[in-house]
Amino acid sequence: MLDLFATPRLRELAPRVTTFLEEEIIPFEQEWMQMPFTEVEKIIRAKKPKVQAIGAWNLYHAKHHGGPGLNLVEVAQISELLGRTPFGHFTFNCQAPDAGNIELLFQYASPAMREKYLEPLLAGELRSCFSMTEPEFAGSNPVLMGTTAVRDGDHYIINGHKWFTSSADGAALAIVMAVTNPEAASPYMRASMILVPTDAEGFELVRNVPVMGHPGSGWASHGEIRYTNVRVPVSNLLGPEGAGFKLAQERLGPGRIHHCMRWIGVCERAFDLMCRRAATRELGNGVFLGEKQMVQNFIAESRAEIDAARLMVLHAAGKMQEMGQHAAAAEISTIKFFAANVLQRVIDRAVQVHGALGVTDDTILSYYYREERGARIYDGPDEAHKSSLARKILKNYGLSIRNN
C-alpha cells in the first residue's frame, strides 16, 4: 500500500490489520469456503475480541461506537487491506450492505429502531439486507420500480418483487425501496426507504439467486424476495417520504469508494500470486515462466494499472471528504468503471499465468474470477457511469444531451 496519503493513526493501524489477516484469516479461507456459512459466521464472530484489541472493529465509525474514527481516505486504504481476502470486511464488521445500512440508520432511524436494530448491527449480533433491484425492470434505471408501499392509517402495506437483495439469507431486517408517491412530478421523488423486519408476515425469501454457478449463502447471498401485503408502521420510514433516491445516492457514493479500494486489494492479492508463480514455475532446462516477455508484460501492465487505479480512488475519496459527494460525482463515475476493469484484467492475467491451476479451486483466483465479474454491473454498470461522465464533460462545452 502506498504511503502517500497515510496519517499517524493509519500508520499505526495498518500493520496490525495486515498481521491479523495474515495470521487469523488468510491461512483458513480455502477451508472456510467449503463450509456452510452458519459455521463460518460463528468462527469469524468469535474473533471479535481480537479485532477490538487491535482497534479495528467498526472501522467506519467513531470511537463512541466502537470504531477508530477514521476519515473516508483512511477507511479507503484499510479497505484495500481487507480486500485481500474474501472474509476481510466481514471479520471487521464493515461488510456491504451492512456498512451502508448502518449509515442510513444512524441518520434517519427513530430512537426505537436504533435500539432494536442499529446497536445489534454495530455489535455484529445481526445482519441486514438492502432490497432495491427488481427482475421486471432494468436495474440501471432505478426510477422504474413496481414495488409499492400504500399508506393505511399509521402503517404501510408493501407489495412487490425484488431480487439481488444483498445478504438477505439470515438477515434480520431489510431496507426496502418502494413507491410511496406515484403521482410526484419528479420520478426521483416517488420512492421511499422503509425498514422491514424479515420475520414480518408476507416477507418471503424465495431463493438465493445462483451467481456464476454458486448459490451463495449468508452475507454472500443475493436473495429473491416477494413482499405480499407486508404491514409495517409508518415510523419505519427512513427519512422523508419520497426521499428514497436521495438516500440511495448518499449511501452509494462512499460505498463506491469502499468497493473500488476493496477491488484494489483483490488486485494486489492476484498480482502477488501471479508474480510468485512467474518466479518459481520452471518450464524446463532452468527456464522460468517469468523470463518470458509476455508474462513480463502482464506483470508490468498490472503494476501500472493497479497503482493508477489506487491514486484515482484516493483522489476521489479526498475530494468527497473535503467538498462533499456532489462535488466528486464525476470522479466517482470514473473510478467505478476504471477500477472494475483493472480488476478484471489483473485477475485474468493471474489466471493465465497459473495455467490450468488458475481455473481450479486450489487457488483463490478462480473464486475471484467468478465473484468479481459482477463489479462491472452492480452499483451502476460501466455503460451508465461512462455515459454520466461524458455528459458532465460535454456540458462544460455547451452541449446538453437529451435523455434517450
CATH of residue 208's domain is: 2.40.110.10
Q: Is the same domain home to 231 and 278?
A: no
Between CA 250 and CA 279 the distance in angstroms is 45
Q: Is the same domain home to 225 and 289?
A: no
Domain membership of residue 335 (yes or no) is yes
If you compute the radius of gyration of the chain from its CA atoms, what whole number of angstroms results? Answer: 22
Q: Is the same domain home to 135 and 151?
A: yes
Strand partners, 195: 175
- Lowest mean pLDDT: which of 125-129, 250-254, 320-324? 250-254
List alpha helices for 69-122, DSSP H: 72-82, 88-91, 98-108, 111-113, 119-122
Strand partners, 194: 176, 237
Q: Is the same domain home to 254 and 288?
A: yes
Backbone angles phi, psi at 7, to 5 degrees: -115, 165
Tell me the three cell numbers of residue 393: 464533460
CB-based contact 342:301 (threshold 8 Å): no
Q: What is the CATH number of the domain that holds 55?
A: 1.10.540.10
Q: Is the same domain home to 150 and 185?
A: yes
Q: Is the same domain home to 171 and 200?
A: yes
User: What total number of domains does the chain contain?
Assistant: 3
Q: Is 1 a residue whose pLDDT tops 50?
A: no
Q: Is the same domain home to 14 and 153?
A: no
Tell me the three cell numbers of residue 12: 499505526
Residue with the larger pLDDT of the pair 61 and 128: 128
Tell me the three cell numbers of residue 396: 462544460
Mean pLDDT for 87-104 is 93
Q: Is the same domain home to 68 and 200?
A: no
Q: Is the same domain home to 168 and 300?
A: no
Q: Is 63 a residue whose pLDDT tops 90?
A: no
Q: Is the same domain home to 194 and 260?
A: no
Residues ≥6 apart with Cβ < 8 Å to 7: 74
Residue with the larger pLDDT of the pair 379 and 307: 307
CB-based contact 306:264 (threshold 8 Å): yes
Residue with cell 471479520: 91
Q: Is the same domain home to 270 and 355?
A: yes
Distances (CA, A) of 50 to 24, 43, 68: 10, 12, 15
Segments forming the whole domain that contains residue 362? 245-395
Domain membership of residue 48 (yes or no) is yes
Q: Is 253 a residue whose pLDDT tops 90?
A: no
Helix (H) or strand (E) holding 42: helix 37-45
Domain membership of residue 24 (yes or no) is yes
Between CA 182 and CA 180 the distance in angstroms is 6
* Largest CA-CA distance found in the chain, in angstroms, rounded: 81
Domain membership of residue 404 (yes or no) is no
Backbone angles phi, psi at 358, to 5 degrees: -65, -25
Q: Is 31 a residue whose pLDDT tops 60?
A: yes
Helix (H) or strand (E) holding 232: strand 222-233
Distances (CA, A) of 234 to 18, 145, 237, 337: 44, 20, 6, 38
Mean pLDDT for 250-256 is 82
Comparing CA positions, the residue from 88, 232, 214 lying closest to residue 174 is: 232
Q: State the Cα angle at 60 between 79 and 8, rounded to 5°.
A: 75
Q: Final residue of a domain: which of 189, 217, 241? A: 241
- Number of other CB atoms surrounding residue 76 within 10 Å: 26
Grouping H, G, I as helix, E, B as strand and the rest as coil, residue 388 is helix
Q: Is 334 a residue whose pLDDT tops 60?
A: yes
Comparing CA positions, the residue from 79, 91, 3, 15 lying closest to residue 259 is: 79
Residues ≥6 apart with Cβ < 8 Å to 256: 332, 335, 336, 379
Comparing CA positions, the residue from 345, 357, 354 lying closest to residue 300 is: 345
Domain membership of residue 120 (yes or no) is no
Between CA 112 and CA 266 the distance in angstroms is 39
Distances (CA, A) of 163 to 129, 209, 376, 384: 11, 8, 18, 20
Q: Is the same domain home to 315 and 292?
A: yes
Q: Final residue of a domain: which of 68, 94, 120? A: 94
- Number of other CB atoms surrounding residue 293 within 10 Å: 7
Q: What is the CATH number of the domain that holds 358?
A: 1.20.140.10
Domain membership of residue 177 (yes or no) is yes
Between CA 123 and CA 339 the distance in angstroms is 32
Q: How confident is the model at residue 378 (pLDDT cuts 50, 70, 90)?
A: confident
Mean pLDDT for 251-277 is 93
Q: Final residue of a domain: which of 207, 241, 275? A: 241
HSE, side-chain direction, 13 A CA sphere, residue 13: 24
Domain membership of residue 237 (yes or no) is yes
Q: Is 219 a residue whose pLDDT tops 90?
A: no
Q: Is 80 a residue whose pLDDT tops 60?
A: yes
Q: What percent of the chain has pLDDT over 90?
A: 80
